[in-house]
Amino acid sequence: MARRDIALNINKTRYELKVSTTSSLAEILREQIGLTGTKVMCNEGECGACTVILDGKPALSCMMLAVDCEGQDILTIEGLSDPLNGKIHPLQEVFIQRSGMQCGVCTPGMILTAACLLEENPDPTEDEVREGLSGNLCRCGNYQRITECVLEGAKIMRTGGRDGK
Query: Could you tell me the pLDDT band of residue 135, with boundaries at 50, 70 and 90?
Result: very high
Please name the residues in contact with 102: beta carbons below 8 A apart, sequence gap of 6 or more.
Answer: 138, 140, 142
Query: Could you tell me the pLDDT band of residue 1, with boundaries at 50, 70 and 90?
Result: confident
Contact predicate 151/121, CB 8 Å? no
The strand pairing partners of 14, in sequence order, are 9
CATH topology of domain 90-164: DNA polymerase; domain 1 (1.10.150)
pTM metric for this prediction: 0.93
CB atoms within 10 A of CB 22: 12
Domain ranges for the chain, please list them. Answer: 3-79, 90-164
Rounded to whole angstroms, how far apart are CA atoms 161 and 158?
8
Which pLDDT value is given to residue 160? Answer: 82
Q: Which CATH number fits domain 3-79: 3.10.20.30, 3.10.20.600, 3.40.50.300, 1.10.287.180?
A: 3.10.20.30
Query: Could you tell me the pLDDT band of residue 162, with boundaries at 50, 70 and 90?
Result: low
